[in-house]
Structure 1
Amino acid sequence: MAAKEWVRLAKEQGLALDGPNGLLGQFTKTFLEAALNEEMTDHLGHEKNRAPDERDDSNVRNGTRPKTVISPTTGPVTIQVPRDMDATFTPVIVPKRQRRLTGVDEIVLSLYARGLTTGEISARYNQIYGAQVSKETISRITDKVIAEMQTWQARPLDGVYAAIYAAIGATLDGDKDILRLWAGTGGEGAKFWMSVLTDIKNRGVSDTFFLVCDGLKGLPNVVGNVWPLTRCRRASFT
C-alpha cells in the first residue's frame, strides 16, 4: 500500500509523518472533521450558525465530543465529532461505537499529494458512503475537504528544506498510486535517478508509457536504460 510505504520511508529518514502528532494524523483529522460537519449540516437541514427563522426545525448543533479512532497507517487519531441537541445525529464516515477506520488512508494521502481530481474525490466518497447520504451532501463534503486541502497547500513555508521527490504512477484503470517518496538535496544526478527507477522496476513495474518530470537533471538521460520504450516529457507542476 502507498500509505504504508510513505510511513516506512518517513521512519527511515526521521520524518514525523505517523504517530499522535504526525503529519498524516493531522491530515486524517482535518479530513474526517470536515466530512462529519457536513454530515451534520445534512442531518439538521441548515448550516452552522443559521438564524432561528431560517432553520427547518428546532434541532441545533450542541458542541462536539472527542473520539479517538484507529487508522491502520497513522495509529490513534483524536477527532471532534459534532453533536446535536436532540442527540439524533448518526455519523456515517465514523459510525458510533466503531473506532477502526477503513478506506480512509489512501484517499487522505492521494488528496494531499494532489493525486486525485475533484471528480475522483467524489467517487471515493461514494464508495465510502454508498447510498447512505445524498449526492448533494457528498458534493458539499468534497468542496469542504478540497478547501481545507488548498489552505494547507498555500500555507507559509520555511526558508530551507531538503528536497522531497514523489513518484506517482497512473494505472491502466486510471487510478493514481504514490509509488515512493525520496529525500534529497536538490542536486541529484543520473546515478541517483537510475537507482530510483531501478528500485521501482525491481518492485514490479515492468514498463511505463510516459514519464513526466519537472526539470530534474539526469532523469531523462537514464529512463531508456530501465524502460527502453518509455517517452520522457518535461512539464512544470508549479
Structure 2
Amino acid sequence: MLNTLLLAELTEFLFYNKYDVNSYNTGNSRNGYYERSLHTIFGNITIQIPRDRLDQFQNKLLTLYNRNFDNLEEIIIQLYQKGITTYEIADIIEKMYGSYYSLQTISNMTQVGAEEMDAFHNRLLPSLFVVVNLDATFITVKCGTAQKEALHVLIGITPSGEKYVIDYDIYPNEITLAYKELLNHAKQRGLEDILLFVGD
C-alpha cells in the first residue's frame, strides 16, 4: 500500500498517468525507484520510492531520511475501513502528509487505495493450507463516533511453512458468521482444503 501511495503521489507531481501520451515532450518522466528500509511495529519493511528523471520529486509520505513510521497500522486500518470516501479520508491524508492536499488529489489517492484493497480481497489463493488460524482483535473505528469493533483475520500456513493473510474484515462483534463469510469467500478464490483450524 505504501508503494502504491508513493506512485500515486509521483503521478500527481508529474500531472499524467503512466503511459499517458500527454507525457510526451513534458521534459520530465518516471525514472525507476530506489529502496528504503523502514522500521515499523510489524518489523522492518522495504519500500520502493519512485524517482523522476529530473530528480525534482520529493515525496511527502516519508520525510527525507526518516526511517520510522510509527502509526503505520492505524493509518492502514483506517484507510481500509473508513469507507474510503474523499471527505472521510482527508484527515488521514493530512496526518500522513503533514501538508494540505486538494480534494481532487485526495480523491485520486483514495481511488488508488480502493483499487489496491479490492485486489487484495479478490486475489487467488493457494488450494491447500496446513493450518488456518481464526481470530479477532478489537480496534477503534471512527464512523461518526469512535467505537470498538472486531477485526476478524484468517491467517494460513502453507505446506512450505509460509504465513499467509487469507482475508480480514470488520464486524461489530466477534461472531462465527464472520468467519463463515470469510471462508466462503476464500473458497470462491481457490481455497479447497484446510487440514487444521485453530481458534479460541
Unpaired runs of at least 5, structure 2 = 156-171, 186-200
Deviates more, 1:127-136 or 1:81-90: 127-136
> Which of 23, 35, 39 is the equivalent residue of 1:70?
39
Matched residue SS, 1:77: strand
Distance 1:149 1:109 in 2: 11
Equivalent pairs, count:
161
Given candidates 175, 181, 186, the residue that maps to 2:146 is 175
Distance 1:175 1:124, change over 3 A: farther
When residues 82 and 180 of structure 1 are mapped into structure 2, their CA distance, relative to the original with a 3 A threshold, is: closer
What is the RMSD computed on CA atoms of the aligned residues?
Answer: 3.4
**CA deviation string 1:51-105 (max 9, x = no partner):** 2x5558311111111111221x122211111101111101101122211114322
**Residue type matched to 1:69 in 2?**
L
Q: Which residue of 1 aligns with 2:101?
A: 133
Superposed CA deviations along residues 134-192 of structure 1, whole A, max 9, x for unmatched, are 322221111112211111111223444534132445579623556676889xxxxxxxx
Q: What are the residue-to-residue correspondences of 1:196-207 with 2, within 5 Å?
A: none
Secondary structure of residue in 2 paired with 1:118: coil
- Taking structure 1 as reference, are residues 38 and 75 closer, same or farther at Cα in structure 2, changes over 3 Å only? same
TM-score by length of 2: 0.64
Output the amino acid matched with 1:66: E
CA distance in 1, matches of 2:174, 2:38: 38
Report the secondary structure of 1:131's partner residue. Answer: coil
**Which structure is higher in helix share?**
1
- Among 116, 121, 124, the alignment partner of 2:92 is 124
Q: Is 2:158 the partner of 1:166? A: no
Paired residue for 2:175, among 195, 198, 213?
213
CA contact (8 A) 2:134 2:152 kept: yes
Tell me if the contact between 2:135 and 2:153 (Cα under 8 Å) persists in the aligned partners. yes
Q: Does the 8 Å CA contact 2:13/2:57 hold for their aligned counterparts?
A: yes
The answer (yes or no) to whether the contact 1:126–1:138 under 8 Å persists in 2 is no
Structure 2 Cα separation of the partners of residues 140 and 85 of structure 1: 23
Amino acid at match of 1:38: A
Q: Answer with 1 or 2: which has the greater Rg.
A: 1
Relative to the length of structure 1, the TM-score reads 0.55
Paired residue secondary structure (2:145): coil
Task: Flag structure 1 segments of 5+ consecutive residues without an equivalent.
Answer: 1-30, 185-209, 217-235
Alpha carbons 2:23, 2:29 under 8 Å: kept = no
Relative to structure 1, is the Cα distance of residues 213 and 92 closer, same or farther in structure 2, using a 3 angstrom cutoff? same
Instruction: List aligned pairs for 1:8-27, cutoff 5 A.
Output: none
Give how far 1:45 is off. 1.1
Letter in 2 for 1:166: A
Identity %: 22
Alignment of 1:151 onto 2:101: no
User: 1:76-91 maps to which residues of 2 (within 5 A)?
Assistant: 76-91=44-59
Aligned-partner residue type, residue 174 of structure 1:
T
